[in-house]
Every structure is written in C-alpha cells, then in structure tokens.
C-alpha cells in the first residue's frame, strides 16, 4: 500500500513537472511556467512528506500509572506530603492551593 502510494505520487509529480515546461509557443516567455513548476513541486513534496510521516511508528504509549500502594491511603498521603490534612483529605501544593490526595 505504501509503495503503491509513493509510486503514484512520484508519477504525478513527474507528469506535473513535464506539463509545466514551456512549449515552443511559450519559448519567448522565459519563466512563464515557473509558478506551475514550483506549485507542482510543493504539492508533490507535501504528499510525499505526509506519506513518509504516516509510515513512521507512533510516538510513545501511555506512561506508567502511579497509584498509591495498596493499604491505608491516609498513611500514604501523610508520608508523602508534609502538609497533608487528614480531616479534609488534601495537601498544600507549591501553587498555594489545596489538592486532594487519593
């Protein structure tokens, strides 16, 4: 599938490039078809670039999940956060706000 797509894109780029070359009628007009050639090159490059980018493996999977150890959650929060308040179940964060602890 990927090879077929790349072959089709390459063929379209080549055909677009040959269509952008001036004919004998346009021989006196130097640079008249430059815009079409540049446009074909940009479009072909974008298509080939996206095909290559989509063929790469994905980034990373989800990170590890940090959960409190099984057992007493209050003891865990008391040990982890010095500002933990067991009555409200929150601790004081560096941002000055209180955050819930599991």
Rg (CA), the chain: 31
Its pTM surpasses 0.85: no
What secondary structure does DSSP assign to 26-68, as a single string? GTTSTTTTHHHHHHHHHHHHHHHHHHHHHHSPP---------P
pLDDT at residue 80 is higher than 70: yes
pLDDT at position 83:
94
The 10s digit of each residue's pLDDT in 9-19 is 666 666 655 55
The 10s digit of each residue's pLDDT in 39-64 is 888 998 888 888 887 776 666 667 67
Burial class (CB in 10 A: 0-12, 13-18, 19+), 40: buried
> Residues 21-26: contacts with CB within 8 Å, 24+ apart?
none
């Amino acid at each position: 599938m990927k090879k077929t797509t790349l072959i089709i894109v390459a063929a379209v780029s080549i055909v677009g490039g040959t269509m952008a070359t001036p004919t004998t009628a346009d021989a006196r007009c130097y640079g008249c078809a430059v815009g079409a050639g540049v446009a074909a090159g940009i479009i072909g490059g974008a298509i080939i670039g996206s095909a290559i980018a989509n063929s790469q493996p994905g980034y990373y999977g989800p990170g590890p999940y940090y959960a409190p150890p099984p057992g007493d959650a209050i003891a865990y929060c008391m040990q982890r956060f010095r500002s933990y308040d067991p009555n409200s179940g929150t601790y004081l964060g560096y941002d000055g706000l209180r955050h819930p602890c599991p």
